Amino acid sequence: MKRYGWEILPHPAHSPDLAPSDFHLFGLLKRHLGGMAFETEDDLISELRNWFDNLDVDFFRVGINSLLSRLQKCIDLHWDYVEK
């Protein structure tokens, strides 16, 4: 990562909500799947593919940009917990 001028930061131990997948992806996915039942694993996979295929083109850009500001707060607080 040094080749690109990037610094790898440790993940704050007490802020699991700052993991990119938990922060933006899984909450929405859990709400989408809430109350659904699937007969087979293939049915679930099909629904997941459909959900991902229909995400707005900016979905991940918006999520990562939002995460960056929360991560900056965490850094500013010397890796202390960050509320929403």
Q: What is the pLDDT of residues 70-79, one digit of tens each?
A: 778 777 877 6
Confirm whether 83 is domain-assigned.
no
Task: Check residues 82 and 32 and name the one with the higher pLDDT.
Answer: 32
Confirm whether 9 is domain-assigned.
no
CB burial string 5-32: b at 16+ within 10 A, e below: eeeeeeebeebeebeeeebbbeeeeeee
Mean predicted confidence (pLDDT) in 34-52: 96
- 60 confidence band (pLDDT: 50, 70, 90): confident
Report the number of distinct structural domains present in the chain. 1
Confirm whether 84 is domain-assigned.
no
Confirm whether 2 is domain-assigned.
no
Q: Is the dihedral of CA 35, 36, 39, 45 positive or negative?
A: negative
pTM of the model: 0.59
- 18 confidence band (pLDDT: 50, 70, 90): low
Full residue range of the structural domain in which residue 51 is found? 15-76
pLDDT, position 38: 97
